[in-house]
Amino acid sequence: MRPGERLVSLDVFRGLTMAAMVIVNNPGDWGNVYWPLLHAEWHGCTPTDLIFPFFLFIVGVSITLARTSAGFGSILRRSLLICLMGLFLAGYPRFNIERWRIPGVLQRIALCYLAAASIYRLSFGDRRRQSIVVAAVAVGLALGYWAVLMLVPAPGGVAGDLTAEGNLGAWIDRALLDGHLWRPRWDPEGLLSTVPAIATTLLGTLAGLCLGATWTPERKAGALMIGGVVAALIGLAWSLTLPLNKALWTSSYAVFTAGCAAVLLAACYWAVDIKGWRRGTKPLVILGVNALTLFMASGLLVKTLALIRVAGADGRPIAVSRWAYLNWFAPFADPKNASLFYALANLLLLFILLAWMYRRRLFLRV
């Protein structure tokens, strides 16, 4: 695979990840959701907990596929634009400065891209040297975060506290961003836990370097699959002493989810780009090539529908999204299926928008 060459399997993988994101973020009723579509309550990992690290892994892979390496000015510009989009989405529709959430998904993606792309840029040389540098930094970040999380207590706390409010990262977020967090005393996209998220992104960069090697496609798929399995097993073994935890983005979670991402990417690469099995993948490609548009449109749609109020069955005003669920889905299926069908309808609506954009070659680039 040459730099700049389109990797269809990566678009399929990205589209699958984005489709899953829309479905888990938009159930008709949060009280009736199948367990794989929910995050783990705290420690643990469900299929839903794989979505965000998968996207960061994909960001890491994409860094290596550019026709020419982005300069630091371009890297900084892209990071800033993604961060600003995240801040806009966090503030919409009221834009209350006093309670505006500063951390967020796009903000974390921006920081991870900034760090991973800069490290990749600085590691220029032959592919072997790049791989060693990227892998060493990823391992260093994962081990460093583990040490800090387990050995350094928050002021007034104890070392190794992995509760939502008691860990060192939550204390740092309160000290620097008090009043601008997802919850009053902690945030799942906080500053300190972005460090291991960068490691996840760098492991994606390592996978991209593997795909760009001069090996045969079959050897690249095999190396990616074996590396993914090994990483997932390391993450699981590590979880015996450091639990898998998405909100804390524990190092075990970072390594485990990156391994899972590598396995799935290897499977997609083997099926789509090696075997050429592309029938039925076009919808995923459409979702994948305009992922940023899909993320923004999904968030804006949910918040906009929540603003529009209509009369409910008892005459009291309710959000139009709730009204649609109660009248168009709930009467025709059991609660969990109705909730899932609503999420799928949401995805279909967004897919129609992206398919229209795809036909007109309209893509949101930063």
Residue 313 has a pLDDT of 85
Q: Which of 98, 110, 104 minimizes the C-alpha distance to 178?
A: 98
Residue 114 covered by a domain: yes
Could you tell me the two tokens for 129? 């040297």
| Average pLDDT along the chain | 95
Residue 115 covered by a domain: yes
Residues in the chain: 366
pLDDT tens digits, one per residue of 62-112: 999 875 567 889 999 999 999 999 999 999 999 999 999 999 999 999 999
Residue 82 covered by a domain: yes
Gap between the Cα atoms of 32 and 29, Å rounded: 6
Residue 365 covered by a domain: no
SS3 content of the chain, % helix, strand, coil (to 5): 65, 0, 30
Domain count, the chain: 1
Residue 3 covered by a domain: no
- Percent of the chain with pLDDT strictly greater than 90: 91
Gap between the Cα atoms of 102 and 305, Å rounded: 23
**pTM of the prediction?**
0.96
Is pLDDT larger for residue 125 or for residue 131? 131
pLDDT band (50, 70, 90) for residue 5 = low
Could you tell me the two tokens for 239? 């979880």
Residue 229 covered by a domain: yes
- Percent of the chain with pLDDT strictly greater than 70: 98
Gap between the Cα atoms of 230 and 224, Å rounded: 10
pLDDT tens digits, one per residue of 201-216: 999 999 999 999 999 9
Residue 69 has a pLDDT of 60
From the number of C-beta atoms within 10 Å of its C-beta (0-12, 13-18, 19+), residue 7 rates as buried
pLDDT band (50, 70, 90) for residue 6 = confident
Gap between the Cα atoms of 261 and 13, Å rounded: 9
With beta carbons less than 8 A apart as the criterion, state whether 28 and 336 touch.
no
Gap between the Cα atoms of 74 and 80, Å rounded: 10
From the number of C-beta atoms within 10 Å of its C-beta (0-12, 13-18, 19+), residue 91 rates as middle
Q: Quick check: 125 pLDDT over 90? A: no
Residue 260 covered by a domain: yes
Q: Quick check: 3 pLDDT over 60? A: no
Q: 107: domain range?
A: 8-359
Residue 237 covered by a domain: yes
Q: Which of 236, 270, 241, 295 minimizes the C-alpha distance to 51?
A: 295
pLDDT tens digits, one per residue of 260-303: 999 999 999 999 999 999 999 999 999 999 999 999 999 999 99
